[in-house]
Amino acid sequence: MSIYRTVPVLWVALGLHGCAIVSEGRDILAGLTNPLVVQTLVLGVELPSGADNITFPEEFSAGSTGTAFLADAGNVADLENAPISGAEVWMQAEVLDEAGPGAYTLAPGAMAYAAGQEWSLRVSTGGNREASARISLAPAADFELPLVHPAEASLTINLTDQGFDGAFVVVNDAEGNITFDNRPQGIREFYDFTRGEPAGIIEIPGEAFPDAGPYAVGVAGIQTTTGRDNMERMNTALSSMMSGNLVFEPIIVE
């Protein structure tokens, strides 16, 4: 008798398990086919103390800066051709301003950056269509600069084995002119960057140090957040959330 009583229970259990598998499969398919693609970057900015002889670009105010690119794209080839304008985008409680077609920016220095925190991104494209994502804030990279560096000579920075998915480097002169910057521009370059190699040896070309004088070199190890567990109602295959702590150090070129 116990056998016959158990059989229906087993079927119910298998049926429930099967429903869970089907539901999960639908969620995965929805994430892969959703046309909303979001590429986001959050940068913390740390300026050096005692560098009063160097002016920093306005976009690198101490605190944080952020950019989100939005596209209505079915595949990688469509990313640049279908920007989403007129959307509402929030990073935490701060509203991002639309700086160009499909590009939304966080005011420099609007929020304090703290490694290890998790920030939220919310996107509304109208018609009750909303999406969200979580962004884990990366720690600062460990790097060293020489006190003095020759003009027009390349400079190598080593971030090997620090666990970063990539790295951004920015160099500016005493007047605040950016002389080198390897940050991606536009949603397709952001996508390509997140599919690149882990951070390792980075070579700053000699053109970044054309003249004698003080410079600042900013380095950020980049951490990428991907996957359907961190995103809702957006394309989980093409979207990604990046963060990094951009730390500037002074250097004298002679």
pLDDT at residue 26, as a whole number: 42
Q: What angle do CA 235, 237, 243 make, to 5 degrees?
A: 90
DSSP line for 113-158: --TT-EEEEEEE-STT-EEEEEEEPPPBP-----SEE-TT--EEEE
The span from the CA of 46 to the CA of 24, in Å, is: 42
Task: Give pTM, 2 decimals.
Answer: 0.84
Name which of 231, 67, 235 is nearest 133 in CA terms: 231
Two structure tokens written together for 90: 């929030």
Tens-binned pLDDT, residue by residue, of the chain (254 aa): 444 445 555 445 556 665 444 444 444 434 456 999 999 999 999 999 888 899 999 888 889 999 999 999 888 888 999 999 999 999 999 999 999 999 999 999 989 999 999 999 999 998 778 999 999 999 999 999 999 999 999 999 999 999 999 999 999 999 999 999 999 999 999 999 999 999 999 999 999 999 999 999 999 999 998 877 899 999 999 999 999 999 999 999 99
Ramachandran region, residue 142 (left: φ > 0; alpha: ψ -120 to 50; beta: rest): beta
**Residue 243 contacts residue 212 (beta carbons within 8 Å):** no
At residue 16, the pLDDT reads 60
At residue 219, the pLDDT reads: 98
Structure tokens at 181: 């910057």
Predicted confidence at residue 204, as pLDDT, reads 98
- Chain-centroid distance, C-alpha 44: 11
